[in-house]
Every structure is written in C-alpha cells, then in structure tokens.
Amino acid sequence: MRTLLIGLVSLTVLAPATVAHADPSLSEIEAQLDKSSQELEATVESWNHVNDELTSTQAKAADLQTKLKPLEDGVAATGANVEQFAIAQFKTAGNMRGLSLMLNASSSGDLVDQLSMLQQITHSQNAEIAGYKAARSKYDGEKKALDETLAAVTAQKTQLETQRQKIEGDIKKLQDLKNRATAAGSTKVNGSGVTNAKAPVIDDATRQKVVDFAYAQLGKPYLWGAAGPSKYDCSGLTMAAWKQVGVNLPHNAADQYRTVVHISASQLLPGDLIFFYSGISHVGMYTKPGKMVDAPTTGKWVEEVSYAGRPIVGYGRPKF
C-alpha cells in the first residue's frame, strides 16, 4: 500500500501541467484584424503596381513588333541584293572582270569609260552592302529589345499569379478573423463610415466633377484590383475619379504619391489625396474637413469616413 501511494505521488509530480490558453480578447482580435487588413492592402497595391507595369510592357512589346516588321523586310531585301552581288563576284572572279574589259575594249577611250562604269558599280555594291549591315544591326538591336520585353512580360505574369494566390489565401484568413471579431461583439467589421452622404458644393468645376464621381460610388463593394464601374479598391477609386477630368493616375497608391504635387494638411482641397502607412499602401480622397471618400478593404464598401487618428504619411494634389 505504501509503495502504491509513493507511485501515485511520483506520477502526480512528474505529470506535465496542462497550460491553459486564454481566448484572445476582443481588442486583440481587432488589432490582429487591422494588421491583417493593412498587410493585405499592401499586397493588393503591389499586385496593382505589377499589373500596371505589365500593361506598359505589353504596349512596348506591341510597339517594338510594329517597328520590327519593316526592318525585317528591309533586311530581307538588301540581303537578297547582297547575295546576288556575291554570286556575281564569284562568277567573274574579281580582277578577271577588269581584264575582260581590257581585252574587249575597242579603244583606250572606250576602256576608260568601261572601267569608270565598273568602279561606279563597285561603289554602288559597297553602299548596298553597307546599307545591309546597318539594317541588320538595327534589326538585331530591336529584336533583342523585343525578346527582353517579352521575357519581362512572362516574368510579370508569373509574379502576378503568385501574388494573386497569396491575396486569395490572405482574404480567407481575413474573413476568419472577421467572423471571430463579429462573434466577440466587434463593431469594427462593418466599418465606421457612411454610404449615403452628400457631396460638398465646390467653387471649382473640375474638383466638383471629381468629388461628385467619388460620392456617386458610395456603397459599392471593395474588390482588390478593381477600378470600377461597380467595384473598387482604394487606388482604383481615386484613379477612376480623376480620370473623369482627363487626369491619368497609376493604379497604385505609392505610384500615385510619386506623380502628385505634395502639399500640407492645411492646403487640402476637395479631391486632393491622402496617403497612409509606411511604404504607402493606401489612399483616400479628401472631400471636406476631417472626411474622405475611401474604398477601405475586402468585405467593405466605398464610404465617407473620418481620417483622424490614422497613420497618414502625406498629402497630394493631382496635376490638372
């Protein structure tokens, strides 16, 4: 009996204690939700940047292919002429042509005339050969540029697909977090903005058109990579709004920041842009004091929302 009791005590001492893991608090879940949303937005904006680059690269490839065709035809034509010259040169054996002229000339004056004509023909052939070399060199240079551009297109498509898969995976994780936050009583999941606000009246027709367009999109769902007309991501919305007045912005928050005139908060006018987060992965449109129109993140919609307290890194004014 004593032995049994000692054994039980030993088991009790040696058995590992069960560690109790407390469920994360609502504030912890919401903090994780904010972090995940920001990281997803950064990935989406990176995808937008590469997609813009792909469009540009494909346009460059098409332009190079257009330029290449006449060069290719020119090389083929001059190449055929050079080939005929080479055959003729081989058949006449070079210097034998001059000897033949001497033997067949009826007079010294006739000989001079024929030798002069031969020299002109030789110059013409040399010019043709030089032209072929120049055309070939230009063709080879453009062909190399085209091949490199097409290789870049392939690489960019691969990069886009890799990022697309990551985005789709991140969206699923984000949705799981939202479900947990909702179950814990969070009010942040559905956003804090409004979708029925009215556009302010502006004394600038251009800015009025831009802002009116932004407000007309309120309530439309967020979709990564989208620039309308029924869905938007953040930079897609600002790009589409300014396109209404002929201003072309890239579909990427950081690229937009690089193209606008940088201003201070005190200089903001309706239609100006507000940029967020280190590395600039989000953008919204300033519309009235303390407010912006924004396409926030996956699962939400275009809304008028306060920008106070958010990590702003700069302000910008599109050039018009």
With contact defined as beta carbons under 8 Å apart, do 149 and 64 qualify? Answer: yes
Q: What is the DSSP letter of 181?
A: H
| pLDDT score of 20 | 47
| pLDDT score of 16 | 47
| pLDDT score of 99 | 44
| pLDDT score of 122 | 61
Residues annotated as catalytic are 234, 282, 294
| pLDDT score of 220 | 97
Radius of gyration over alpha carbons of the chain, in Å?
36
Q: CA–CA separation, 290 vs 168, rounded Å?
A: 33
| pLDDT score of 22 | 62
Question: Domains of the chain, with CATH numbers?
Answer: 26-183 (1.10.287), 205-317 (3.90.1720.10)
Range 120-127, long-range pairs (CB < 8 A, 24+ positions): 125/85
| pLDDT score of 137 | 79
Predicted TM-score (pTM) of the model is 0.67
Q: pLDDT digits over 12-51, tens only? A: 444 444 444 566 777 787 777 778 877 888 888 988 998 8
In the chain, which residues have pLDDT < 50? 1-20, 93-96, 99, 101-103, 105, 108, 111
| pLDDT score of 269 | 98
| pLDDT score of 129 | 63
